[in-house]
Structure 1
Amino acid sequence: MSTELASQRPTSLADLYISFTLLALQGFGGVLAVVQRELVEKKRWMTMEEFVEDWAVAQILPGPNVVNLSLMIGHRHFGFAGAMAALAGMLSVPLLIVVLLAVVYAQFSQYPQVVGALRGMSAVTAGLIIATALKLVPALKNNPVGRLTALIFSALCFAGIALLRLPLAYVLFTLGTITCTLVYRRLK
């Protein structure tokens, strides 16, 4: 699947809005796994390689990664209007839900069951992120630095941020500069 071309595209601004609203609602709080499955496997709006490349760009831009990705996809297909439709889809209904959840949480935050449920949800989210990362590894075979080098840099990033507790900006700037230099040299 990773090498085949994306054969479909959003049919309208309403399709973009509805699709991104459903994406935001499916993966409320952590949508990477859902977005990859929906956009690449189900809707086929992009290939796995396009997803990995666009996701990498979305991660370095300021703001939420999935919102950045939705803006890029919307703009790619319908220009500024598409970007705004995708953005509205990602934010409108989830915003209402967050406001409602905040009101409910304020009423029930002192109960141990609520605290336990939130801890359990964070473990599930971590598992989804790891599973999605493993699912995206095959797309690295076409990466200019190669799969092994990309995995080494991923491990270094994890070690720097999670184990050594280095600031994210320093780790990304350092490893990103080295990786960009490697890619530039290999593509030259």
Structure 2
Amino acid sequence: MTTYTTHTQESTAVGGALTILGNENYQLQLAKSVTNSSGSVTYNMVYQSQLLAPDMEIQWTANYGLNWAANSPNPGATVNYAGNWQPCAAGESYDLNNVGAWVPNQSNPNAKPNCLNVGNNDYGESVYISVRVQDASGNWSPIWVSPDKLVQQSGGEYEPLEAITLWYQEGSQTSTMVSTQ
């Protein structure tokens, strides 16, 4: 599995960016992007939030999983999930059955090779699909929640991209929803 690393350095000079940001209790925030079925690329969740240091590094592997929730959290809220996480490699497809469990569906005619594919939502209501990633230590963290519900009896394709956005912000934490970046 491929491992990705982002490396950020800030000056430790008196009155420099690190001092100013640190005095305001800012942290480095990183969000990863996902393309949904309509082709929209969004960053809407903090994947990692780190205290400031002169030399900061964040790593993750291209190892992904799917989950679902009946309700989408608002920006600033920590995501609470309703389903169980399902590891899912690019090109694999899973259906959501009537009790909310993931069932393999490798015969999904709409599956795309670079996507995490949901063949059919057979659950009792429309759901929000979420994606997680495994970091270099083997821990799993959510990175994205679909802004649109996957309606019953439909499917979707979700492509995690290795594009990121970095910013400094006060108070955000890992797995916190943010306004789309």
Same fold (TM over 0.5): no
Q: Could you say which structure has the higher helix fraction?
A: 1
TM-score bracket, normalised by the shorter chain, equals under 0.3
Higher relative contact order (CA 8 A, sep 6+): 2
Q: Could you say which structure has the higher strand fraction?
A: 2
Instruction: Provide the TM-score with structure 1 as the length reference.
Output: 0.21
Instruction: Provide the TM-score with structure 2 as the length reference.
Output: 0.21
Larger radius of gyration between Structure 1 and Structure 2:
1
